Structures are given as structure tokens and as C-alpha cells.
Amino acid sequence: RMRMRKVGFLEFLPQEEWDPTLVSFLQRICHPEEGSSLDELHIYLNGDYSSISFNAFCSMLSKLYLIIFNCSYRISATIMLPLDNSKHPLLRIPEITTIWSEGDACCQEWNRLRAEANMPPLECMAGAPWAMAPCAPRALDAPEAIQRRNAPAAPTSATEFESVCLGGTFDRLHPGHKVLLTVGALYATRELMVGITDTSMLQTKKYAELIQSMETRAAAVKRFVATLRPSLTFYPETLFDPCGSTVSRPDLHAIVVSEETRRGGEVINERRQASNLAPLELIVIPLLSGESDTAKISSTHLRELDTAHH
């Protein structure tokens, strides 16, 4: 008999520095020996971001992803934000199986609402360090979309762009990929175009034979973006060269890059200007502090771990 996938859910406020009690709680529930064997964990950071700087926002996301990743790299984590006034995650993601909440009454209320929506009931876990998943009625006051009220201060001239693009290999989605995609989804209002490097360009990489197929990588990115922001049009593009259609599409407005890939964004803009196209606004994710373990979270390292486990 196949084991049912265990998909956990937590909700708490964004914090620039994660509270140690919260960190140890996360480490406990994510630890592979805990017997809980979570397959996925959805975390909903439901709160006001207006006083958080862009760099602090990126650092906050990255640290939270790393806490989970360092406990078990096999847990697929997704950190969600209150975007688009979309439904509360517990009422739009039927796959969630388990919540840690502030008590039975709260959990029963969620299960009543999920039953009305024809969704399976949740398993309720105690032991959260403080009120995590709020009781349903409180949560149903739809938070204003983060875009209009409480987005982290943008590192650019505008706080939103109709079409945003970004690119990468996206083999075995890891914290670095997820921060990149989250920033893209945060600042795009209509379309997120994601360039995904074709396997033919990856042959020189270490453990190249273990790189996931184009279809698998594109599906993982699509699913991640749809969980973050269902209203966004997701447009995947297979990259056979580093720039793809970013150098020819007049209807793109911004590109998300990291400090390490900033030069690639500048090259794209040089080529756009040579074709009389407006340059893309560069949204640059800072080098995230405390990442002495960056080497550990590369796709190459994950392929290496998979080799070791087989």
C-alpha cells in the first residue's frame, strides 16, 4: 500500500529575525527521524510587509527556507505571501493534510469550511510554540493584496511591473531558486516568464546525467508559481542560449537577477538597446548573508546527495 503524502501547513507573521522558539519547532517537525516524515510543508507568512526592506525580505525568506532545507533537503517547502486577495491557502490547496494550530476548536472550524468546499479534512497537531494557524473566521477577512498595501519596499523605481522575467536551470528546486521565483511573482502583475535552460546546454555540469528532464523542471516551476500566486500567467521558455526571447520581446518590463547573475541582466539590456527596445528594470536579489552553506544548496550538491542515497 502506498503511504499517503503528508503535506503540512503553518501560518505565522513575517519576522526579520526568526524567533528561536519557532526555529526549534520547525527543526523538530522537519527532522526526518521525527517519525512524521513530512513530504511537503506550506508556510503562509500572513502579515504586513511595508516596513521590511527588500534586502531584509529576501534574507527572511532565504533563512526560513534554509532552516527547513538543513533539516531535510527532501521536504518540498513553499513559503506563501498574501497576494491577490486569493483564498486562504487552507481553502484553495486540497492536498494539505496536516496543520499545527492553536487548538481543537480552531481546527474543527477549518474542517467545517473545508467540508463546505468539498475538501478532505485536516489532521490537527498540537505543540506549536504560539498561535500559528489562526482560527478560520479571523483568517477569512481577506488581507489586502500585498501589492497595493504592504509590499516590501521595492529596490526599483516601481513596485510592480506587468511582465517580469527570470531564468535558471531549476534542477531540483532549492532555496535559491525559490527566493528568485518568489520575488518574480511578487513584482509581476500579469505575467511571469521563466527561462529554463535546455538539457543540451547542461552537458558539462557535474552529474549531468542526473539533471531532471525539461518537462519535470518546467512542471515543478509551474506548480510552485501557481501555489504562490494562482492569478499570474506563467510562461515557461526553453533556453537554448543565455538570453532567449528577453532580447527581442518589447512587452517585458523587469528581470530578476542575483548579485552573481547581474552581469547577464546587463548584457540583455545592452542587446535590447542595440535593437531600440526599452531596457528591463533589474530587480537584484542581494547576496544573502549567512550563506557560508551556499555550496551545499546548489543543484549539483543535490544531485550528489541523490547519488549517495541510491
CA–CA distance, 108 with 37 (Å, rounded to integer) = 24
Q: Which three cell numbers stand for residue 161?
A: 511591473
CA–CA distance, 192 with 162 (Å, rounded to integer) = 9
Residue stretches of the chain with pLDDT short of 70: 1-2, 34-36, 85, 102-103, 129-157, 288-310
Predicted confidence at residue 49, as pLDDT, reads: 82
Q: Which three cell numbers stand for residue 195?
A: 527561462
Q: Which three cell numbers stand for residue 132?
A: 500559528
Q: Which three cell numbers stand for residue 277?
A: 527596445
Residue 14 backbone zone (phi > 0: left; psi -120 to 50: alpha; other: beta): beta
- Please state the pTM of the whole predicted model: 0.88
Predicted confidence at residue 201, as pLDDT, reads: 77
CA–CA distance, 242 with 264 (Å, rounded to integer) = 8
Phi, psi dihedral angles at 230 (to 5 degrees): -60, -25
Q: Each residue of 107-163: pLDDT tens digit?
A: 888 899 999 999 999 998 877 765 455 565 444 444 444 444 456 666 666 778 999
